[in-house]
Amino acid sequence: MNDFGKELQVRQVTKSFVSGGQPIEVLKGVDLTVESGASVSIRGESGSGKTTLLNIIAGLETADSGTVSLNGLRIESLSESKLALVRGKEVGMVFQAYHLIPELDVAENVLLPARIVGLMGRPQRDRALELLKKVGLGDRLHSSPSQLSGGEKQRVALARALMNRPALILADEPTGNLDEKTAKGVIGLIFDICRDENSSLVMVTHNPNFAAKTDRQLLLHNGLLTNIVK
């Protein structure tokens, strides 16, 4: 199959864990294609493997079998250092639990992906400020994450995910801990920025209204992804 022009291709990915001495098969042959600039949402019960799948796509966990290609590049064939570079440049991640670095202030957290790929100049600082303004935190550059509310932390995490203009954004319940109004704001920002920068989006969400905003709605159930017919 020709990978050209496809931002993300997941083929027959399987993953098992051993828990309490028992093997659990979490992913049983997951297929997913997300075209450049397209968006998909993934729903599924707690423990169905959504975070595991996103971690495998990001190369943070390895699949037992199957392949993941980012822009035609098979991530399982890359060395650790090459993978870290590709992840840093091509993938922006928004986690379930923010994962901000407590020792760094807001601006430094947003700049982190640029630092990881070795870019630390004026254009990066300008971009960080622009993003923080976009998420409504332009006046909190030097706050510590511990001084922020949940919604503010998630908006910093979103700005950080977008720092390097990633081709692919992986968002794991990005509004899970937010009130409805703040959640709507964060979701609006994610879609605005994906559209402005032609990023692809894979978003785990339990909110059917947010899922309905994506091009395709998927369900992870019994280790497989299926389309939810609208």
Ligand X SMILES: Nc1ncnc2c1ncn2[C@@H]1O[C@H](COP(=O)(O)OP(=O)(O)OP(=O)(O)O)[C@@H](O)[C@H]1O
- For ligand X, the closer of residues 49 and 92 by Cβ is 49
**DSSP readout, 151-174?**
HHHHHHHHHHHHTT--SEEEEEST
Report yes or no: 143 and 105 within 8 Å, Cβ to Cβ.
yes
Please choose which of ligand X, Mg ion, none residue 212 contacts, taking the beta carbon within 5 to 8 angstroms, the exact cut-off set by kind.
none
Q: Which is nearer to ligand X, 43 or 127 (CB)?
A: 43
Pairing of strands 73-74, 22-35: unpaired
Minimum separation from the CB atom of position 39 to ligand X (A) = 19
145 binds, among ligand X, Mg ion, none (CB under 5 to 8 A by kind): none
Cβ proximity to Mg ion, 105 vs 173, nearer residue: 173
Tokens of 135: 């998420």
The residue with its CB nearest to Mg ion is 51
Name, in order, each residue with C-beta under 8 angstroms of 53's C-beta and a sequence gap of 6 or more.
10, 13, 27, 30, 42, 220
* Closer Cβ to ligand X, 56 or 106, answer by number: 56
Distance of CA 79 to the CA centre of its chain: 21
Q: How many whole angstroms separate alpha carbon 10 and alpha carbon 165?
A: 22
| Least Å from the CB of residue 97 to Mg ion | 10
CB of 122 to ligand X, least distance (A): 39
List Cβ neighbours of 197 (8 Å cut-off, separation of 6 or more): 162, 165
From the list Mg ion, ligand X, none, pick the one residue 146 interacts with, judged by a Cβ distance below 5 to 8 Å according to partner type.
none
Query: Closest approach of Cβ 99 to ligand X, in Å?
Result: 14
Least distance to ligand X from the beta carbon of 27, Å?
A: 9
In the complex, which residues of this chain contact ligand X (CB under 6 A)? 17, 19, 24, 26, 44, 46-52
Q: Which is nearer to ligand X, 136 or 176 (CB)?
A: 176
| Contacts with Mg ion, residue ranges (CB under 5 A) | 51
Whole-angstrom CA distances from 218 to 27, 30, 35 are 14, 12, 15
